[in-house]
Structure 1
């Protein structure tokens, strides 16, 4: 009796649905329902039975599968029609939408199509189903009587995909860094900082305006919690995530809807990241209806409220990343919608490719600031060409990834691997400064680009920034950070007369939220995202790639591999474990500076491996034991005014200065604002006889990692370089170190022993030094 009533109820329900929304809309809706059921049946951790009766009923009425041919319901692409349009469709066709799409596929020169639904409105109540074939992909337009689509082979696969959150666990020194971060600001912001504790995202009254700070924090805190597998941190993250999910508005919007302009979309980009990562870590499929409901709401809103010149428009590539992730992993029968929304997002977003190829690209510090010259926007835009290449297939998009890196390095590059931006692009002078948000966003951009391009160049740059610029702008206990860091930094204090142009007087102090609170929330993604993207997998799941060298364990099905290393403080990287039958190869990145590196595996003796490449070995169904030995050599790079920057391995070294801390303000827990000054002389030139053989003048000493002491600290610095220096005529400019005098310099002062330590271990330093010989 129960089964009979259930069947009867379902038949009446679906019949009414067909009559109400029309057959093709019905096909579309049922397509999504079937995909959702199939998706629920195959989730990675929760496998709940789906009603067999429901699936049987859907199959019974003729829905075989859902694909691109279902089109984007309610959207037209006016114009671009072939002559003689429309084409009347055969009324005997079971699915007119598919018939229209397939007709376009079979017609030479057809790149898009639009289907007119019969009986959709009083104006076409007797109109037969019609199909428009198009020779160009015209702009999208909302139209409730149309279904449209484009002819595409889908996204171009990246060279490598990042692994789901939770498959990579930290070890060694990087686990210590993550634990320090959790014990510092990251784990305490929701306990006392209003913009997270009392965020509007959980019903509070803080985090107003762009509503970006809680999403920023979650974007780093969620991976941190699951990488450490800490129940308390996970519970804290889930409190925010569940509130966001349960308070989604009826129309699909997420969070406060108090800004009706183009900026309103931006903060949701990170919420999408958070929901993606939460699903990867837990398998909780409740995120998908939430994500799709929001995306449909935002998509419709974009037609009446486009991005314009806003943060949303500048940072469009971050939303496209989520749309592409859904296309790759959970299209849910909405391939054409996801494709179309990504296209609309890109069209409304900033033309970064044009900005970087413009002959008028800023080559000097920016005075007339725009959102195009904003540092964080550029940090995020580094990846937009590569991201869009997957959809456009345009070689110029592919090439632009390299061009952006080259242009930023040429005109604004800093020794730590990042580019200068004291809010806006600031030139090559090492005292101008770089915003912390730019550091973590540039890191993530280069991590993404490595996955898309597979070029070790991008992974190496992410690593360089992560192992130098990131720790150099945060105290070793991670309770305080700067807004701006400087490669040549001789004080960190309130300065009314300052060398930077666009930020306030507190920009270089260390504290809770100096100058502006965005970096307080956003710095949290730096270390967790670096770890999350350290290992990637090929599209055919046959090759695992170690892109960022760090101690970790990766578990993927029956493949478990552990990396044991002190790198970047040590020169060996050992990988042990076992591979599944499906995992055929292991790639390991050999740094570009590692001339003479060798790899030994199994019984094979050490074999030379090329620098700057991914070196591949087989691992199919065998135990893995390999060791990469990397010669750490001291290197000199000439920079601003021919000054010298000293590197050894992946680390930049800076002149060590005495650091005197003074507490300016005390908050809850261990949070404080500090000024840091030095009594040390800083205006040294360093003695260098021969750049190509710096060991003549620079003596390296390895102290080693100290148990329980942060490696990125003066006390815990695992290595140092001793050298000879002379004080030179080098003064101040607006209370900062002036530009280094052009090398070589002359000085009659006496030779003095000086010490350089890893840049990331310092709070004050000189990293671009004039030279004498």
Structure 2
């Protein structure tokens, strides 16, 4: 090494050291303890447990394994955007959001399954990112300086650090945040980063809670100051109609005008966490609760019967033939997981389950080797049609590798793993809480004592949940159980002894001295019900599951795409039914692996119906549901409904027959 090179390297090392001193605190290692908010942050109601503390079991583990065996575990082998030439591996390929998106789901999937193959895949991205930080602290590929993809890679790194305790992560983040705070005055947030600022604030506060450096609070406030004011938008919500290309001037601004970004579905899904996250710094209950108003406005003007709002790709109104982007589903799930931790509002858990057990699996093939960009509650054909999308293209509801746009191919991976990571959380009263129900096992340190809790259940297909507590010694702590708002007459038994019936829509708290092997049995009665929606249409539900009429399917391969393929799906049966709601019969079948598939549906509903010939499809899209009630002289039939996710062609919102 010549003298000039030596001095250059020495200067770079000094710069890194200076940045480390600016944010210089020791790294933490892997632990099963939840990290609570430091002052001056407002305490969470519930604190997430670190990645790896919760492991899936039963049907949930099988679902994660399907993802690992499908695109989730092989995308880098068949899609160049996250393949060996990715900019996030030092290559000259895609260098923006897709590598970070993929890693954000791959890391939790790998560690929840404890899968060496998947861990090795993730490690390549992790090592390149950590080992190639620039001397000034900037991270990622040098081909762009956009703040947005760095926000995503930070989320992946925080999860990885929790799972492994890798000592490189915290100094790496310290150097980057030191660099960013020095740059934001001259290079402020723009477009995607401006509208998604809250996702970075989460990583900034994650680091603050581990280091206590006050400069991180300054950075969080600066991100908020430069970010879009979502709370103000929804205080006087103007986007109450179906958005069009002309309205957002898509051809002029390429989708990057403030109007386009404010009406973008994924941005709105991510923004549901903005007010709760900011409330941690403001301490203001108005900020804390603004989320509920956001949800109410989205439901009122764009709500769909599957539990999400329309966004294909911009807000699209309440017609159930409109669609929702897959990225919107997984980002809304993550926002609700964050908000549930901050606010502790039980109904957010209800909403999260509705998305996870309907919208998420409803947009994949059974083997998770193909997905849709847009899914529709009333989806009668998946083919190359321009209708009904607001701003998307004709491939939008195909099943494939990257239909319409590739963001969802990279981003869908976070859905199941992050749900798993947030099934349980530590409670502010030094206990533990079950926020979402699925078969799982959690290991945590409660009041300085290691505790293992197992949850055996076939929920959401069955009404029984059995929780067993395994502690090293007798230990007093509170266990909180979310009682859904729909669960009337829920029952709790502790070691076989009945407890007072908990009110629906609350958290039931059981505080006692727990002994090895104590059990709690929770019963959430799953009564079928009919709800009204757009044009007084009817949607059927049972617990968190939404039900659909399954249309016969003819799958036609459009083209091969490496290890997978793109598919069109055409109807083989009629679908235009109007229904009665006076009789709903539920039938339970065995719960097997792949419970979200048509061939293995564990529960079905039967209702009375008549065909409605006037209700037709145009260009492969079902016309809006006729205004109910309707009359019809066709013969009465008994039709069978299956869980929403099982039917890839389906009717979910029906006109109601006049009695």
Q: Give me the TM-score of the superposition, normalised by structure 2.
A: 0.91
Give the match for residue 278 of structure 1: 160
- Give the C-alpha shift of residue 753 in structure 1: 2.4
Instruction: Report the Cα distance in structure 1 between the residues aligned to 2:618 and 2:189, rounded to whole angstroms.
Output: 40
* Matching of residue 296 in structure 1 with residue 183 in structure 2: no
Which residue of 2 is the match for residue 3 of structure 1?
none
Equivalent position of 2:89 in the other structure: 202
Q: Does 1:234 align with 2:234?
A: no
Q: Aligned pair 1:595/2:488, yes or no?
A: yes
Structure 1 residues 29 and 464 mapped into 2: Cα distance closer, same or farther (>3 Å)?
closer
SS in 2 for 1:189: helix
Report what 1:510 is aligned to.
399
Give matches, 1:72-151, under 5 Å. Answer: none
Instruction: Give the equivalent residue in structure 2 for 1:555.
Output: 443
1:213 paired to 2:98: yes
Distance 1:622 1:701 in 2: 38
* Structure 2 match to 1:10: none
**1:43 alignment partner, one of 29, 36, 39:** 29
- What is the alpha-carbon distance in structure 2 between the residues aligned to residue 255 and residue 219 of structure 1? 15
1:344 alignment partner, one of 218, 222, 240 = 222
Identify the match of residue 324 of structure 1 among 205, 222, 230: 205
Following TM superposition, by how much is the alpha carbon of 1:257 offset from its aligned partner in structure 2, in angstroms? 2.7
Shift of 1:578: 2.2
Superposed displacement of residue 579, structure 1: 3.8
Whole-Å separation in 1 of the counterparts to 2:20 and 2:584: 70
Number of matched pairs: 620
Q: 1:202-601 to 2 correspondence within 5 Å?
A: 202-208=89-95, 211-260=96-145, 264-308=146-190, 310-331=191-212, 334=213, 336-367=214-245, 368-369=247-248, 370-495=260-385, 497-539=386-428, 542-557=430-445, 558-579=450-471, 584-601=477-494
**Counterparts of 2:133 and 2:208, CA distance in 1:** 23
Residue 642 (structure 2) pairs with residue 761 (structure 1): no
Asked whether the equivalents of residues 20 and 171 of structure 2 are also in contact (C-alpha less than 8 Å), the reply is: no
Rounded to whole Å, the distance in 1 between the matches of 2:57 and 2:333 is 21
Q: CA deviation at 1:672?
A: 1.0
Distance in 2, matches of 1:504 and 1:233, equals 33
- Does the C-alpha gap of structure 1 residues 248 and 657 become closer, same or farther in structure 2, counting only changes over 3 Å? same
Contact 1:598–1:628 under 8 Å retained in 2: yes
Q: CA RMSD in A?
A: 2.1
| Farther-moved stretch of structure 1 (761-770 vs 389-398) | 389-398
Over alpha carbons, which structure has the higher Rg? 1
CA offsets, 1:408-446, max 9 Å, x none?
Answer: 111111111110011100010001100000000001101
Cα distance in 2 for residues equivalent to 1:531 and 1:275: 18
**Alpha-carbon offset, residue 734 of structure 1:** 4.3
The farther-off stretch of 355-364 and 405-414 is 355-364
Range that drifts further, 725-734 or 369-378 = 725-734
- 1:363 deviates by 4.0
Deviation of 1:680 after TM superposition, in Å, equals 0.8
Q: CA deviation at 1:362?
A: 2.8
Distance across 1 between alignment mates of 2:159 and 2:174? 16
Go from structure 1 to structure 2 and tell me whether the alpha carbon gap of 1:330 and 1:583 turns closer, same or farther (over 3 Å shift). Answer: farther
Note the alpha carbon deviations across 1:184-219, whole angstroms, 9 max, x for none: 0011011121011121100222224xx100100110
Q: Which runs of 5+ in 1 are unaligned?
A: 1-16, 47-151, 690-696
Q: Name the CA distance, whole Å, in 2 between partners of 1:531 and 1:45.
A: 17
SS at match of 1:438: helix
Q: Secondary structure at the match of 1:421?
A: coil
* Structure 2 unmatched runs, 5+: 1-10, 33-37, 249-259
Question: How far apart in 2 are the matches of 1:306 and 1:432?
Answer: 35
Q: Write the deviation string for residues 311-353 of structure 1: whole angstroms up to 9, x where unpaired.
A: 000000000011111122333xx2x210000001001000101
Q: Deviations over 1:718-759 (max 9, x none)?
A: 111122211111022443001111111111111122110000
Indicate conservation of the 8 Å contact 1:569/1:704, yes or no: no
* Alignment check: 8 A CA contact 1:317 1:346 kept: yes
SS at match of 2:456: strand
Query: By how many angstroms is 1:293 displaced?
Result: 1.1
Of 58, 80, 83, the match for 1:172: 58
The higher relative CO (CA closer than 8 Å, separation ≥ 6) is in 2
Using the TM superposition, give the Cα deviation of residue 616 of structure 1 relative to its aligned residue in structure 2, in angstroms. 0.9
Displacement, 1:582? Answer: 6.4
Matches of 1:732 and 1:232, distance apart in 2: 46
Displacement of 1:359: 4.6
CA distance 1:726–1:45, shift in 2 (3 Å): closer
* Equivalent residue number for residue 7 of structure 2: none
Separation in 2, partners of 1:458, 1:359 = 21
Give 3-state SS (helix, strand or coil) of 1:698's partner: strand
Residue aligned with 1:516, SS: coil
Q: C-alpha separation between the residues in 1 aligned to 2:528 and 2:481?
A: 23
- The question of whether the paired residues in 2 share the 8 Å contact of 1:499 and 1:733 is answered with no
1:731 maps to which residue? 616
Q: Distance in 2 between matches of 1:500 and 1:302?
A: 36
Cα contact 1:220–1:525 (8 A) shared by 2: yes
Deviation at 1:603, TM superposition (A): 4.6
